[in-house]
Amino acid sequence: MNNQLVRRSVAGLTLAALAAVGLAAVPSPARAAVDEAQLGGQYDLYSWNCAGTADGDDLDAVPWSDDNVPVTKSTSASATFTGSEGDVVQATSSTSTSITASPLGSGPATITGSATASASALASGSTTACDVRSQAQSQAMGVFTLTQPMWATLTAAGQGQRQGQAQGASFVGVGNIDGFGSSWEGYFGLGGDGLVVSAGNRGSAVSSTLLPAGTYGVAFASIAYAVASDEGDGSASYTGTFTVDLKPVGSASAATGKGASLVRFGERDCASGDVSVVLGKKTVRKAKRVAFKVDGAKAAVLKGKKLEGRKPKARTVTLPTTATGVTKVKVKIVLANGRRMQATRSYLPCR
């Protein structure tokens, strides 16, 4: 069984689920918060040639919101298919999905979640004439509005196991909701601006994209797919863990280093790219030399009279940076007693 077969089989599940909750064509929310938000699981157990009750379900979902409250949903199903002379195939499916999201829209926000999908189609004997399919998908999705440009960093980690005729995958995506295409991005309804990150068996991936102000969909899922046929049977279980980290353009990390308490890093000016660093009066009085670096290159050095002037007072140093790139600003301080300290802060691009 190849991956293309798995893609064709599970794509229909995803597409149907997204349409069911309205992500295919949803009006822009009037507020900057998550909307049309649901999580849950769906499954499909069937046979083309053996007797049994096929079991399939649309998305069995519950709502979630961006209120920092964890939400979890689980599903399970089983079916037995019988052929001639005691030929029996047992098919099972289970899903579990969880999500926690902080308020979305105008400031930094984080969505974290996990999705587990398990599927099996196991014959009672060493061979079977039954043709049985078992597939499961756990997923979460929602729509939100960004009132300002944001950097979206997507992280996906997957762990799975499979035996025989089985396959699985996990992925997370964020992007606009203008329509569906023919790729995984399209199955999520994430066309145009956006990003999809996938993680296979015992893998991980991380990537970032800049989202202009606007309305977006977010979704993640894990998929498991198993087959029983005259070529054998199989089982699979896949778990994905996901993080969507949203930060305004130009956002800064926390200052690090033993010298962080001696300097005050300013915010990045996205019009010019400049970053200001303030040395307090106490730091100026104690310091013998202060050197500034931007992305590893020397930007400024203050020592002697350039540092203290006529008398110690607070100093502000403005450092030019490139507004289109990630920037790291490092301040190295040599105190009058010879002690050396440094402080570092990184800034996201402005565009």
**Under 8 Å between Cβ of 345 and 318:** no
DSSP label at residue 86: T
pLDDT tens, 197-237?
777 666 788 888 898 888 888 889 999 999 999 999 999 99
Q: Give 339's contacts (C-beta < 8 A, 6+ positions apart).
A: none
Delineate the domains of the chain, giving CATH numbers in brackets.
3-248 (no CATH), 260-347 (2.60.40.10)
pLDDT digits (tens, 9 = 90+) for 20-33: 333 333 333 334 47
Q: What is the pLDDT of residue 200?
A: 66
pLDDT of 38 strictly over 70: yes
Q: Stretch 322-350: mean pLDDT, rounded?
A: 93
Q: pLDDT, tens digit, for every residue of 151-178?
A: 999 999 989 899 999 998 888 888 876 5
Percent of the chain's residues with pLDDT above 90: 58
Distance CA 48, CA 42 (A): 20
Reduced 3-state DSSP string for 143-208? EEEECCCEEEEEEEEEEEEEEECEEEEEEEEEEECCCCCCCHHHHCCCEEEEEEEEECCCEEEEEE
Reported as a single tens digit per residue, the pLDDT across 244-297 is 999 999 999 999 999 999 999 999 999 899 999 999 999 998 899 999 999 999
